Structure 1
Amino acid sequence: MTDTTQGAMPPFHLAFPVHSLAAARAFYGDLLGCPEGRSSPEWVDFNFYGHQIVAHLSPDEAGHRATNAVDGDAVPVRHFGVVLSMQQWDALADKLKGAGTKFVIEPHIRFKGEVGEQATMFFLDPSGNAVEIKAFANMASLFAK
């Protein structure tokens, strides 16, 4: 659902478990470039491309555990991410490759030639939480069937 009064989607909020706030700061803040917001000894906010994500210290809950098949890939069931422009996606893929990021699913085009064709990549944060970054050449196909 979009906020038609302002013509843009409202930001989402997501809280997720991590084993270390220092590692979360290094990953989300330093590597992904997400500015830090409020924090406490048990959690830290990040601006994830205009959305509020919150890393909560909870070592026993962190990480993904299951996958489902999607267009030939074993996609982590529990994951979150963002949809970027193709230019932003390409730049981030290059940055992550340059930093030696180990991908769960290498950057590639999924559903090639089909409705919903998209660029996608999956990687894990230091706590094992799966993150997906995707992009569409045609953003209108984001919800296309």
Structure 2
Amino acid sequence: MSAPAAVLPPFHLAFPVHNLASAREFYGELLGCPEGRSSDAWIDFNFYGHQIVAHLAPDECGHHGTSAVDGHAVPVRHFGAVLSMEAWQAAADRLRAAGVEFVIEPHIRFKGEVGEQATMFFLDPSGNALELKAFADMSSLFAK
């Protein structure tokens, strides 16, 4: 019998956006993240069980710089979530249907290697980079 899955505490991430209405549309409507508290300067979202907060800070937006990973230029500053394969595919389909331009198209990275994963990168309306990924075998998340 295997051990029960660990329950991880949610993380908190605050990030800059240039416009709260576009953040609300992107995170709330497109990604389906329920909205929590908000003010005229910020909005809380439930990002797959984690608290992210979009703060109105137009001068701080965007990502700058990339790193080579498996033949792709990955945005160095990014955040995201590890999903089930089914949820990852549903997100990829929803983003494609909405016409989101991918920084790195949905694909399988490290195919046949330790850490094989489905991944995709895209930008929010403020230029913040996000990655959604999934593992067929979640135990390989931290495998070497």
Aligned to 1:68: 67
How many residues of Structure 1 are paired with residues of Structure 2 in the alignment? 140
AA of the residue aligned to 2:118 = A
Structure 2's unaligned 5+ residue stretches are: none
Aligned to 1:89: 88
**Superposed CA offset, 1:69-94 (max 9, x none):** 00001000000000000010011101
Cα distance in structure 2, aligned partners of 1:102 and 1:129: 13
Cα distance in structure 1, aligned partners of 2:71 and 2:59: 30
Name the SS for the 2:115 alignment partner: coil
Aligned to 1:120: 119
**C-alpha deviation, 1:127, in angstroms:** 0.1
**C-alpha deviation, 1:27, in angstroms:** 0.2
Aligned to 2:40: 41
**C-alpha deviation, 1:7, in angstroms:** 3.4
Aligned to 2:129: 130
Question: What is the TM-score of this pair, normalised by structure 1?
Answer: 0.95
- 2:100 maps to 1:101: yes
Structure 1's unaligned 5+ residue stretches are: 1-5
> C-alpha root-mean-square deviation of aligned residues, in Å?
0.9
Cα distance in structure 2, aligned partners of 1:96 and 1:115: 28
**Superposed CA offset, 1:113-133 (max 9, x none):** 000000000000000000000
Aligned identity (percent) is 78
Cα distance in structure 1, aligned partners of 2:57 and 2:94: 29
Name the SS for the 2:63 alignment partner: coil
Name the SS for the 2:9 alignment partner: coil
Moved >6 Å (runs of 4+): none
Name the SS for the 1:81 alignment partner: strand
**C-alpha deviation, 1:35, in angstroms:** 0.3
Question: What is the TM-score of this pair, normalised by structure 2?
Answer: 0.96
